[in-house]
Amino acid sequence: MGGSLTVESIQGEGSTFFLKLPLSGDQQIPFTISEPEYTEKKVYHWNNKKILVAEDEYLNFKVIQIALEKTNAEIIRALDGQEAVEAVLMHQDIDLVLMDIQMPRMDGYEALTRIKQINYHLPVIAQTAFAMIEEKGICLKLGFNDYISKPLNITELMIKIDKQLF
């Protein structure tokens, strides 16, 4: 092809990308230059908030833990639905539950039912690998306060958690 892509980057200032493509003969390619888009990530401050993460897969939990650490929320982990129910019983001050649906011993649906019997007003967000529209409807109908599919979009997750906490 004979083209190239290079970048010049200055930390804290930005990057400039150069794309060179060979043209044959007198070919011309129309182009437009637009202003760069800047998006600032919202910083969440959930001091004095306690979040229970019910997730059996270590890697999935680690991703969530890293995202939540920046918020200063206290994070509790449950490895299955049974542990999630026990955690809600032991920690009456939990502010939110992030619940995986498919876990060993007790799935997220059964855990939700038991948690809502303990504290009906405790917000519980379902997280599932089934990214189907029907799945979201089922989760909301069963009593989950919100739903997010895997792989997790961290920005979306943070927005959903913030909405439930406040």
**Residue 15: per-residue pLDDT:** 78
Q: What is the CATH number of the domain that holds 155?
A: 3.40.50.2300
Side-chain-side CA neighbours of residue 148 (13 Å): 21
Q: Answer whether residue 106 is part of any domain.
A: yes
Residue 92 lies in a domain: yes
DSSP state of 11: T
User: Which DSSP state fits 72?
Assistant: T
Instruction: Kindly compute the dihedral angle of the four CA atoms of residues 120, 100, 136, 49, in this order, to the nearest 10 degrees.
Output: 50
How many C-beta atoms surround the C-beta of residue 52 within 10 A?
A: 24
What is the C-alpha to C-alpha distance for residues 144 and 98, in angstroms, rounded to an integer? 10
Closest residue by Cα to residue 139 from 106, 100, 104, 165: 100
Distance CA 160, CA 127 (A): 11
Helix axes 58-69, 154-165, angle to 10 degrees: 60
In a domain, 12, yes or no: no
* Number of domains into which the chain is organized: 1
Residue 62 in any domain: the answer is yes
Provide the residue range defining the domain that includes 86. Answer: 50-165
Higher pLDDT, 40 or 98: 98
Residue 25 belongs to a domain:
no
Domain assignment of residue 15, yes or no: no
- pLDDT tens digits, 39-78: 667 899 999 999 999 999 999 999 999 999 999 999 999 9
Written as one string, the DSSP assignment of 17-32 is: EEEE----TT------
Structure tokens at 2: 């004979």
pLDDT surpasses 80 at 14: no
